[in-house]
């Protein structure tokens, strides 16, 4: 069954009666055909790819991600699991592949190639040694935010990557699953966006279109992760690219507060809050311009949400006004001070004592 589905999806043409789901996931026939014809440019010889079965880096929307090696380079290998190899997951795999092999930006995880001529299907990308933002936030501990400068640099990296996706021509990309787990760090501490399994390109959008591409009505399907999913999606209303700005607002809140926006609620309770327009309280210590940015980004009305170009400008302005101390990790500094040798003490004879030793 899997082999037959794979052969049909990788066929050089798409049948006229391929159906609604094929059109929704893959876009028009001409684009898909051009994508398949380009396969020789990115198809990876499986014999040249070594996958470390013990090093599972995480799980994406349709499979597991493992650490691997390709031509002597460390890579990440996202594989379609055998137990997920239904036709829908194959379509999702093809959709992600059709998107990522056309993306090139410093804040997007670099696509290197794929194995599509045999199972398991896999997508190979650059390896990101810094892990993901969700794990960093969890390891940091609740209510212990990162230094403001570092948090804003990560937010700025995210905004730059998302601006590239939204302003990409001739077809924009809506991520639809922007969340800390999909924000990875390279060895320089720079954020890059990954996991395009739920993304849509402009050729796949259906429904009304307004004059601005930012306001296009694109779908009624449910997508994303509950905490970062815009209320219009929950309510199964037509939604626009502004669903990504909503997710960004939730992420910026977490970066500035060091905790989830709905840490004391169940997903069901939080979903009701989001759908009704209720938002978590922003700490008084958050700078006014950042408070305004969060409130606009997660606004209930999509038209109020700023573009990523505007988000980028705001973050750059705030970063330019920070002091050197705003980039220091005060928790780490406190730890270093506590661990540092204590000042020497003098005894009655004027001798200096430290660590139980007499210093002449």
177 catalytic residue (yes or no):
yes
Reported confidence tier of residue 193, pLDDT bands at 50, 70, 90: very high
Contact 34, 41 (CB under 8 A): no
**Domain range summary for the chain, segments of one domain joined by +:** 2-126, 133-322
pTM for the structure as a whole: 0.78
pLDDT at 325: 93
Q: Regarding predicted confidence, which is higher, 73 or 210?
A: 73
Mean pLDDT, residues 61-85? 83
Contact 134, 144 (CB under 8 A): no
pLDDT at 109: 96
- Is the predicted pLDDT of residue 41 greater than 50, yes or no? yes
How many angstroms separate the Cα of 260 from the Cα of each of 30, 100, 179, 295? 43, 29, 12, 16
pLDDT at 59: 72
Judge whether 2-126 and 133-322 match in fold: no
pLDDT at 8: 52
pLDDT at 35: 52
Reported confidence tier of residue 117, pLDDT bands at 50, 70, 90: confident
- Which residue, among 103, 87, 86, 89, has the nearest Cα to 78 in the 3D structure? 89
The two three-digit tokens of residue 328, written as one number: 């220091």
Helix H or strand E encompassing 42: helix 39-42
Reported confidence tier of residue 348, pLDDT bands at 50, 70, 90: very low
Q: Regarding predicted confidence, which is higher, 58 or 11?
A: 58
Reported confidence tier of residue 344, pLDDT bands at 50, 70, 90: very low
- Is the predicted pLDDT of residue 33 greater than 70, yes or no? no
Mean pLDDT, residues 341-348? 42
- Is the predicted pLDDT of residue 56 greater than 70, yes or no? yes
Cα(248)–Cα(243) distance, integer angstroms = 9
Q: Which of 28, 45, 177, 244 is catalytic?
A: 177
Residue with tokens 């694109």: 218
Reported confidence tier of residue 255, pLDDT bands at 50, 70, 90: very high
Mean pLDDT comparison of 134-138, 142-146, 342-346, highest-scoring range: 134-138
Q: Buried b / exposed e across 308-319, counting CB within 10 Å, b at 16+?
A: bebbbebbeebb
Q: Please, which residues have CB within 8 angstroms of residue 43's CB and are 6 or more apart in sequence?
A: 113, 114, 115, 116, 117
CATH of 133-322, one of 1.20.1250.20, 1.10.760.10, 1.10.3720.10, 1.10.510.10: 1.10.510.10
Reported confidence tier of residue 91, pLDDT bands at 50, 70, 90: confident
Contact 6, 80 (CB under 8 A): no
Return the CATH superfamily for domain 2-126.
Answer: Phosphorylase Kinase; domain 1 (3.30.200.20)
The mean pLDDT of the chain is 77
Contact 316, 150 (CB under 8 A): no
Q: State CA 42 to chain mean position distance.
A: 23
Mean pLDDT, residues 250-264? 89
Reported confidence tier of residue 14, pLDDT bands at 50, 70, 90: very low
Contact 186, 103 (CB under 8 A): no
pLDDT at 94: 82
């Amino acid at each position: 069954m899997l082999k037959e589905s794979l052969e049909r999806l990788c066929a050089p043409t798409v049948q006229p009666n391929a159906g609604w789901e094929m059109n929704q996931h893959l876009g028009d026939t001409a684009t898909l055909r051009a994508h398949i014809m380009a396969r020789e440019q990115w198809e990876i010889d499986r014999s040249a790819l070594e996958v470390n079965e013990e090093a599972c880096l995480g799980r994406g929307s349709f499979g597991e991600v493992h650490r691997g090696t390709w031509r002597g380079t460390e890579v990440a290998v996202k594989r379609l699991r055998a137990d997920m190899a239904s036709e829908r997951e194959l379509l999702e795999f093809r959709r992600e592949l059709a998107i990522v092999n056309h993306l090139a930006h410093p804040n997007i995880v670099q696509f290197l190639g794929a194995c599509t001529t045999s199972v398991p299907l896999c997508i190979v990308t650059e390896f990101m040694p810094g892990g993901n933002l969700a794990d960093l936030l969890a390891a940091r501990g609740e209510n212990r935010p990162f230094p403001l400068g570092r948090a804003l640099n990560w937010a700025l990296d995210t905004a730059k990557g998302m601006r590239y996706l939204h302003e990409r021509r001739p077809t924009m990309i809506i991520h639809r699953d922007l969340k800390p787990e999909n924000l990875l760090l390279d060895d320089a501490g720079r954020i890059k966006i990954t996991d395009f399994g739920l993304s849509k390109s402009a050729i796949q959008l259906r429904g009304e279109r307004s004059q601005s591409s930012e306001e296009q009505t694109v779908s009624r399907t449910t997508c994303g992760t509950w905490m970062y999913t815009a209320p219009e999606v929950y309510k199964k209303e037509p939604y626009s690219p502004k669903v990504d700005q909503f997710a960004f607002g939730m992420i910026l809140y977490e970066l500035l507060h060091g905790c989830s926006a709905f840490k004391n609620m169940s997903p069901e309770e939080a979903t009701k809050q989001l759908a009704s327009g209720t938002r978590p309280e922003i700490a008084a210590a958050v700078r006014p311009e950042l408070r305004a940015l969060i409130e606009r980004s997660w606004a209930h009305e999509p038209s109020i949400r700023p573009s990523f170009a505007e988000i980028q400008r705001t973050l750059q302005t705030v970063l330019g006004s920070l002091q050197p101390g705003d980039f220091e990790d005060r928790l780490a500094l406190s730890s270093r001070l506590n661990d540092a040798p204590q000042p020497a003490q003098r005894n009655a004879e004027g001798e200096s004592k430290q660590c139980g030793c007499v210093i002449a």
